[in-house]
Chains A and B, each alone.
Chain A
Amino acid sequence: MGAISLIALLIAAIAFSAGGILVGKLLVKGSKNPQKGQAYECGIPTNTSPWHQFNVGYYLFALLFLIFDVELVFLYPWAVVVKKVGIVALIEIIVFIFILFMGFLYAHKKGALKWS
């Protein structure tokens, strides 16, 4: 089958999830209680909203990830043809990875990989 199978799978996923939730909704007669709508905590009301500034460490790793993920995408077409092209492709990729690895070492030296 062709690309239409992806649409079929999407429909399957939506039908499965929506079906499950709908059956649950039909079967359950919930009760009304203002306490039910509160956020889950250890029995005490939540202090301050969770939607505020967050530890920057996560974003640093996200940025580093972006660099390497783009590199990974560049490597895919290379990986397919490397056996046909031969030694030239190997040298080119060594240069490519060398430059990237220098960037990685720089980030390491600057302390971007240190969790604080």
Chain B
Amino acid sequence: MLSLESITKTTQDWLFAKFSPQIALTIECVIVILLAITLFAVLGLVLVLLERKVAARIQIRLGPNRVGPGGIFQTAADTLKLIMKEGLTPDAADKFLFNLAPFIVMMVAMLLLAPIAFAKNFQIWDINIGVLYISSVSSLSVIGILMAGWASNNKYSLLGAMRSGAQIVSYELSAGFAVLTIVVLTGSLQISDIVAAQENGWWLFKGHIPVIIAFVLYIIAVTAETNRAPFDLAEAESELTAGFHTEYSGMKFALFFLAEYINIFIVCAIGATLFLGGWMPLHIGHWENFNHVMDYIPSSVWFMVKTFFLIFLIMWFRWTFPRLRVDQLLNLEWKYLLPISLFNLLLVTVIAIMGWYF
């Protein structure tokens, strides 16, 4: 059967048989670079269109439908427009930091791709501290945002960046605790181990109510971490024009925009991996025939379906909940989510030690 797993294996075997190890490794690096850039471009195009289509459908309109069949080339046209725009730098801005910020945000988004398992054995680097790596690298993105806001020398930007910073660091805590519950249950930080532990059922189903609470906490926390509505007061259009990227234009703005959507994809991919079994097919107990049918669906399809389901959920939130005020936002995290996630972690620990999960 043609699957991503066999393709990567054959390619690697062929490369190492044909060339010396150094050259083979270099070629692999080039392949990774090309794949990562392609993934970024494709994801950007797909997610922006998806966002607009979902928004349109929820508001009972059609959304973009002029450029190409069903409007599928709308984002490509928008990108072309953004390339043709002049990238301005304000005279009063800190020019070096102003130009560096989009690079930092992009680098963080790109580095987060490394430990994600896109399909069975299809992972750039199966690092043994995968979860820790993800939480440490993702907390770097706030530096790029603060840098952009401060260097712009604009009040909207600075206020947006400060709000964004306070929000991201606060919600990182409950996201971290939610992730820890799965680490406690699995006993490993490696992504492949976490996926393998869900072979006979996803953690969302196996881990009783505490894991469901952790899942809900994770979704709330990552919605806030990616600056999405209802937590989008970092770039609240009606009060701050565009938040930390007010001064950016042309391709530099496009990079921020793209990084935002890539971050949504990444957090949803991690959520799907930890709670919904990553590329594992849906298996139900001893229903051998059912499990067998499910195994026929390729693992990459499973991964993408779960990830895009979570992305759809986050897009849905945007049109369901009103925006919070900054004090309500910090209250929600520090007075409700953080204590809940602390006690939830203890509950999961009891379940893990007693072996009460399935």
A interface list, Cβ under 8 A from B: 1-18, 20-21, 23-25, 27-28, 30, 36-41, 46, 49-51, 54-55, 58, 61-62, 64-65, 68-69, 72, 75-76, 79-84, 86-87, 89-90, 93-94, 97, 101, 104, 108, 113, 115
Contact = CB atoms under 8 A, between A and B. Distances in A.
B176 A80 contact: no
A9 B83 contact: no
Contacts of A54: 158, 162
Contact of A6 (B30, B111, B135): B111
A10 B111 contact: yes
Given A1-B124, A39-B247, A40-B156, A75 B180 contact: yes
Closest 7 CB pairs of A and B: A115-B327, A37-B91, A13-B110, A30-B86, A8-B29, A24-B251, A79-B183
Given A9-B36, A21-B251, A27-B83, A65 B173 contact: yes
Identify whether the interface residues of A are mostly helix, strand, loop, or mixed: helix
Given A62-B165, A80-B189, 18 more contacts: A6-B111, A8-B30, A10-B107, A21-B255, A24-B84, A24-B85, A28-B250, A37-B92, A40-B154, A40-B246, A40-B247, A51-B150, A58-B162, A61-B170, A68-B338, A76-B132, A86-B353, A94-B346
A1 B153 contact: no
Given A97-B346, A115-B327, A17 B353 contact: no
B106 interface: yes
Given A12-B33, A28-B250, A115-B331, A90 B173 contact: no
B183 A76 contact: yes
A5 B125 contact: yes
B116 to A, nearest CB: 11
Contacts of B84: 24, 27-28
Contacts of A25: 87
Given A5-B125, A14-B103, A76-B183, A61 B169 contact: yes
B83 A20 contact: yes
Nearest to A48: B155
Given A46-B154, A68-B338, A82-B353, A12 B36 contact: yes
A45 to B, nearest CB: 11
